[in-house]
Amino acid sequence: MTRLAPLLILFTAMAAQAAGPAPRERIERGRYLINATGCMDCHTPLKNGPRGPEPDRTRLFAGHPEALAMPPAPALPAGPWLVVASATNTAWAGPWGVSYTANLTPDPDTGLGRWSAQDFVRTMRSGRHLGSGRPLLPPMPAAYGQMSDEDLQAMFAYLQTLPPVRNRVPAPLPPAAR
C-alpha cells in the first residue's frame, strides 16, 4: 500500500491540474475580464448621481429596466450619424432597429439562471442566443466571440455569483419603416 501512495498523490495532482483553475480562481478571472471588457457599461443602467451619470449599483448587470418604457427612437439625421442611446445606456437605436441590453444576472426566469457555461460560450461564439436563436444586436461587440472558451467560461462563472435581479428586458424592435 505504501508503494501506491506516491502514484495516488501524482494522479490526484494531475487530475486537479486537468480540471482547470479552482472555482475561486476562475471566478476572480471572470470578474477581471467582465470589468476589463466593460460589460457593466451597457448591462448596468446608469442613473443620475451627484456628479452626473453613474452605474445603478442596485441593478448590476440587470440590463435595460423592464419598467422603463421607451418612446420611439428619434430619426437619425442624414450624414455620418449611426446610433442613438438612452440616458440609461441600456437601449440603443440604429439601422438594425432598437436593442436593449440583456439581464446577465442569474435570475432563472429573466436572466442567465437556467443557462450553462456552454450555452454562454455558444452564444458569444456564434453571436446568436443559445447558439441558434436571434442575433445579438449592436452595440454588443462581436469581438467577444474571439475570446477563449476558458475566458468566456470564467466570465460566466463570475456572472453566476451575482445577486439575481428579476428584470424582464423588452424584446428588440425591428427597424422602423421609412
Find, among 145, 131, 130, the residue nearest to 37 by Cα: 145
Say how far apart CA 60 and CA 62 lie, in whole Å.
Answer: 5
- Is 87 within 8 Å of 46 (Cβ atoms)? yes
Q: What is the mean pLDDT of residues 20-46?
A: 92
Structure confidence by residue, pLDDT tens digits, 123-154: 999 999 988 899 999 988 888 989 999 999 99
Structure confidence by residue, pLDDT tens digits, 57-93: 999 999 999 999 988 887 777 778 788 999 999 999 9
Reported pTM:
0.83
Grid cell digits, residue 108: 432563472
Asked whether the predicted pLDDT for residue 18 surpasses 80, the reply is no
- Is 19 within 8 Å of 140 (Cβ atoms)? no
Grid cell digits, residue 131: 447558439
Say how far apart CA 94 and CA 82 lie, in whole Å.
Answer: 6
Say how far apart CA 66 and CA 169 lie, in whole Å.
Answer: 5
Query: Which residues does 22 contact at the CB level (< 8 Å), separation at least 6?
Result: none
Structure confidence by residue, pLDDT tens digits, 88-107: 999 999 888 899 999 999 99
- Is 88 within 8 Å of 94 (Cβ atoms)? no
DSSP string, 11-51: HHHHHHHHT-S-HHHHHHHHHHHHHHTTHHHHHS-EEEETT
- Is 58 within 8 Å of 105 (Cβ atoms)? no
Asked whether the predicted pLDDT for residue 19 surpasses 90, the reply is no
Say how far apart CA 156 and CA 29 lie, in whole Å.
Answer: 10
